[in-house]
Amino acid sequence: MKPMIKNKPINLAIVAAICGIAVTQFAYADLPTAFTNIGSIVNTRHNLNQGPLYQVVGQSVNPMNVGRNNYGEVCVYCHTPHGANQANGLVAPLWNRTIRVTNYQTYNELGTTTLTQDVLSTPGSASLTCLSCHDGQTAMDSIINMPGSGRGLVTQATTQDLTFLNSWNNGDVAPGSADTTNHMGFNSGYAPPPPGYRLGVGDGSDGVGCMTCHSEVGLVKTILGGNFADFRMANLGTDLRNDHPIGITFPAPPGSPSPDWNTPAGVKGASNFFDENSNGRMEKGEIRTYEGRVECASCHDPHGVPSAGVGTQFNPTFLRKSQSAGGVGSAVCLTCHVK
């Protein structure tokens, strides 16, 4: 009997064609992750240039190339030295990624009576940069400037242009041939699935996206098995009501002690930070605000922070501070909250 999704038989040949590989070519082993999380961003999942450790028999190309342009560089997926994204007042470090104009559902829409601070309807720049991947709607490889001369498109700042993205050849098709990359985001691939099928079962995806494989309930994972990492927790979507508030004013700025909040002593421009070593400098491992507000980057550093000094593994989930710091559980939470 063929496997079924939504009472429809699944054609394994079609599934394999979508993924760009033949079902019979998969040869998995329970290998450790390719990402050691030691040294630099090169060794983390934020290096979108890397491929998986598993081997696909008979193929010399990186099987991840079916889902994103392989630009052959690490930093370019987020940063560019020229022509950075400044659309809609974005203030970010030479940002190269597409950021769509989006109406997010934010924490204050829950109507909780314990929320006393205002929350921005559009998160600040230190959150929008993270959401340009993690809200699931934009392809991982959707950038403004590709490597090389004359490979930029200004309108990519807010709009994902597939013709532009398809102009990059991953090296797995003959020169002049049509590019076959699907330009996948967490939720949104742009190659439509076969009629009547829903790929990425159970994660809200209606297209060929990263979650098709990187989910315990994903179609390819279910049928083919394999050592796929589960990215569901990283796929935040545009409904942020079940996530820590971002774009929210921190209740206890310097000089305003509170019985419920610790006060950040460090000041850098319009931002405040918890100066853990009292040296007066804002460092990677120190939790901070941006323009007085809590944003994604308040607690997470996308490049990774060593857990116990140089050469040690980075804190999980790119946290600025280990939850077990000082021998106390929930150290990140208790940096700000008095409980």
DSSP string of 29-85? --PPPS----SSGGGSTT-TT---SSEETT--S-GGGGTS---S-SGGGTB-SSS--
Instruction: Please report whether residue 123 resides in a domain.
Output: no
Mean pLDDT over all residues of the chain?
81
- Bin 200: left if φ > 0, else alpha if -120 < ψ < 50, else beta: left
Place of tokens 């998160």: 123
- pLDDT tens figures, 180-227: 687 888 875 444 444 443 443 333 344 567 877 777 766 666 566 566
102 neighbors 238 (Cβ within 8 angstroms): yes
pTM of the complete model: 0.84
pLDDT band, very low/low/confident/very high, at 133 (cuts 50, 70, 90)? very high
Taking alpha carbons only, the member of 51, 59, 19 closest to residue 191 is: 19
Q: What are phi and psi of 294, to 5 degrees?
A: -85, 125
**What is the structure's pLDDT at 205?**
40
Tokens, residue 4 = 């079924």
Does the structure show a pLDDT above 70 at 294? yes
Domain residues for the domain of 330 are: 250-339
| 218/100: higher pLDDT | 100
Instruction: Please report whether residue 309 resides in a domain.
Output: yes
Domain count, the chain: 1
pLDDT band, very low/low/confident/very high, at 109 (cuts 50, 70, 90)? very high
What are the distances in angstroms from CA 84 to CA 79, 132, 198, 205, 291?
Answer: 8, 14, 36, 30, 21
DSSP 131: H
> For 325-332, what is the mean pLDDT?
91
Instruction: Please report whether residue 149 resides in a domain.
Output: no
SS3 label, residue 105:
strand
d(CA 91, CA 26): 44
Does the structure show a pLDDT above 50 at 18? no
Instruction: Please report whether residue 269 resides in a domain.
Output: yes
Percentage of residues in the chain having pLDDT higher than 70:
74
Instruction: Please report whether residue 160 resides in a domain.
Output: no
Among 30-34, 90-94, 307-311, 330-334, name the one with the lowest average pLDDT.
30-34
- Bin 75: left if φ > 0, else alpha if -120 < ψ < 50, else beta: alpha
Instruction: Please report whether residue 332 resides in a domain.
Output: yes
Does the structure show a pLDDT above 60 at 117? yes
- Bin 338: left if φ > 0, else alpha if -120 < ψ < 50, else beta: beta
d(CA 179, CA 146): 16
What are the distances in angstroms from CA 197 to CA 7, 11, 26, 191, 220?
Answer: 10, 10, 22, 13, 13
Instruction: Please report whether residue 31 resides in a domain.
Output: no
Does the structure show a pLDDT above 90 at 56? no
Instruction: Please report whether residue 289 resides in a domain.
Output: yes
